[in-house]
Amino acid sequence: MTRLRLAATALAALVLSGCVGALPGSGTPPKLYDLSPKSTFDPSLPKVPWQIIVQEPVAAASIDTNRVAVRQSALSVEYFKGVAWADRAPRLVQTLIIESFENTGKILSVGREAVGLRADYLVKTELREFEADYTKSARPVAVVRLNVKLVRMPERSIVANETFSMETEAGGTAIEPIMAAFDDALGNVLKRTVEWTLRAAAALPRPSNPASGG
C-alpha cells in the first residue's frame, strides 16, 4: 500500500508539472475538410417528375468515420494526423449526392429518409473505397468507389445497379493537394451517379402509385 501511495503521488506531481503528455481531449483539434457537390451536368438529362430518397451509404468500419483514411499497404489502413472530414465520410457523401441531384434541376424532390419524404425511388449506396492510397504512385492517389442501387417503391425492388469509381493522383504530398484530389475523384463519381440514376429512372415504367401524386 505504501508503494501504491508513493506511485500515485509521483504521477500526480508529474501531471501537475507538465512532464506527462497531454491528457485525452486536450490536444489541438484537427483541421476539418469538406468536399463540394457537383453542379455541372449534361444538359440533355431527362427531367423526371419523381421524388427520390438518398440513403446514407453503407461503409466498412475503416471508412465509417470522420478520419481521413490512408492506405500504405494492401492489408492495412491508417489515418492522417491532425485532419478530419467535416462529418463521417458516409454522411458527407450522402449530403453531397443530395445536393448534386438538386443542382441538376431535373428532379421533383430529393432528400433523406429522416425527413419523412414519400419516395418513388430509393437510391441505396455502398461506399467501398474512400482513401488516400500510397501504393499506386510516387504521390498519393485519392480513390473513391461507390456502388449504387436504384430501388423502386413501395415494393422495394432493385431495378438498376451500377458501380462508379475514380482515382485522382494528388498534385503533391501536402494535405491541400490531397484534399483537392479527393474533391476531383468524388466529383467525378457524383456526376456519373446522378446522371446514371436520372437516365435509369426515366427509362423505367412510371410507378403505379407515384409519391409525386401525378
Taking only the tens of pLDDT, the chain with its 214 residues reads 444 343 333 333 333 333 333 344 446 889 999 999 999 999 999 999 989 999 999 999 999 999 999 999 988 999 999 999 999 999 999 999 999 999 999 999 999 986 677 899 999 999 999 999 999 999 999 999 999 999 999 899 999 999 999 999 999 999 999 999 999 999 999 999 999 999 998 887 765 555 555 4
Dihedral of the alpha carbons of 62, 66, 70, 74, in degrees to the nearest 10: 10
pLDDT at 74: 85
168 belongs to a structural domain: yes
Q: Would you state the cell numbers that stand for residue 107, as one nine-digit string?
A: 428532379
171 belongs to a structural domain: yes
6 belongs to a structural domain: no
Domain, as residue range, for 140: 48-202
181: CATH: 3.40.50.10610
| Burial category of 128 from C-beta neighbours within 10 Å (exposed 0-12, middle 13-18, buried 19 and up) | middle
Number of domains in the chain: 1
Residue burial 61-97, b: 16+ Cβ < 10 Å; e: rest? ebbbbbbbbbbeeeeeebbbeebbbeebbbbbbbbbb
Sign of the alpha-carbon torsion through 70, 71, 77, 78: negative
Question: d(Cα 102, Cα 80) in Å, to the nearest integer?
Answer: 32
42 belongs to a structural domain: no
Q: Comparing C-alpha atoms, which of 148, 142, 160 is closest to residue 192?
A: 148
189 belongs to a structural domain: yes
211 belongs to a structural domain: no
Question: d(Cα 151, Cα 125) in Å, to the nearest integer?
Answer: 11
159 belongs to a structural domain: yes
Q: Would you state the cell numbers that stand for residue 209, as one nine-digit string?
A: 402509385
pLDDT at 206: 65
Per the CB < 8 A criterion, the answer to whether 84 and 27 are in contact is: no
Instruction: For residue 7, give Cα distances in angstroms to 1, 3, 13.
Output: 10, 6, 10
40 belongs to a structural domain: no
